[in-house]
Amino acid sequence: MEEIKLDVQVRTAKEIGTGKSKGLRNNRFVPAVVYGGTQKPTTIKLNQRDYGQIMRKHKGETVLFHLNVFEGDKKLKDYTVILKEEQIHPVTDDLMHVDFKRISLKEEIEVKVHIALKGDAVGVKKDGGVLEQILWELDIICLPTNIPKSIDVDISPLHIGQSIHVKELILPQGVKTKHDPESVVVAVVAPKAEEEVVVEGDALTEPEVLKEKKPEEKADAKKGEVKEAKKGEAKEEGKAEKK
């Protein structure tokens, strides 16, 4: 992997702090820090546009930077670094801060590399199976110059019920991994059967609709109630007379 050159400016004391960082971002700079190794951390600022173009071009890759640190027009130092962390605003998705880590080109480092699936699995294409990717990144160990853009995995031969494990991956020369060799990277599984929805006969019965009685029906019902009440009173009176 080649180093990508990026010119940055050292931050002055007046440009360090939460409030100052906001001012930098308003001027299209991104506050950043370089740490690691035997040297003290270096506070810098990046040109937002330059950094963004590099990261878009190498999206999904581990980027190796060669930082040229300037103070105005004067070059102070240069570092070989890798991106350690980006802080993104949770609402606006704006880049808030970047952390870089100094490294040596002569010492192995451990990084995460994207796993790229290649081809169409026969179990999916011909048999209607479902492709499930379990592992999306692989932890690798190598010299910085040997970091691959991705770990490519050919899934074409996979039938339903077959999978590819970490131990079956073909790693580039000079690259190794500490990852569990038995971990599944990708598999082709049978499609899930659709569940039948059983509808009970009663469930299809339309609910009874209670309609409000018409005014004339209400009147007839009221008359009936009065008649029944009078009959009841007459019976009670008859019983009383007999006694």
**Domain CATH for 90:** 2.40.240.10
Element (H, E) at 8: strand 4-10
Q: Can you give the CATH number for the domain in which 170 is found?
A: 2.170.120.20
d(Cα 152, Cα 140) in Å, to the nearest integer? 14
pLDDT band, residue 141 (cuts 50/70/90) = very high
Within-domain flag for 148: yes
Task: State whether 117 and 72 are in the same domain.
Answer: no
- How many C-alpha atoms does 37 have within 13 Å on its Cβ side? 17
Instruction: Summarize the confidence of residues 127-151 as an average pLDDT.
Output: 95
Q: How many domains does the structure of the chain reveal?
A: 3
Task: State whether 115 and 92 are in the same domain.
Answer: no
Instruction: Summarize the confidence of residues 16-25 as an average pLDDT.
Output: 77
> Is a pLDDT exceeding 80 seen at residue 55?
yes
pLDDT band, residue 38 (cuts 50/70/90) = confident
> Token pair for residue 238?
């008859």
pLDDT band, residue 192 (cuts 50/70/90) = confident
Relative to beta strand 163-165, strand 184-189 is: antiparallel
């699936």: which residue's tokens? 117
Instruction: Summarize the confidence of residues 160-173 as an average pLDDT.
Output: 96
pTM of the shown model: 0.69
Within-domain flag for 202: no
* CB-based contact 169:116 (threshold 8 Å): no
The CA-based angle 149-151-154, given to 5 degrees, is: 130
Task: State whether 68 and 114 are in the same domain.
Answer: no
Instruction: Summarize the confidence of residues 195-208 as an average pLDDT.
Output: 53
| Distances 29 to 96, 113, 127, 142 between C-alpha atoms, Å | 10, 28, 53, 33
If phi over 0 gives left and psi between -120 and 50 gives alpha, with beta otherwise, what is residue 119? left
- What sign results for the dihedral spanned by CA atoms 174, 178, 179, 180? positive
Give the structural domain span for 121: 110-189
How high is the mean pLDDT of the chain?
84
Within-domain flag for 10: yes
> Is a pLDDT exceeding 50 seen at residue 226?
no
Q: Indicate the residue among 48, 70, 103 that finishes a domain.
A: 103
Instruction: Summarize the confidence of residues 118-130 as an average pLDDT.
Output: 95
37-51, 86-100, 115-129, 221-235: lowest mean pLDDT where? 221-235
Task: State whether 88 and 120 are in the same domain.
Answer: no
Backbone angles phi, psi at 43, to 5 degrees: -90, 125
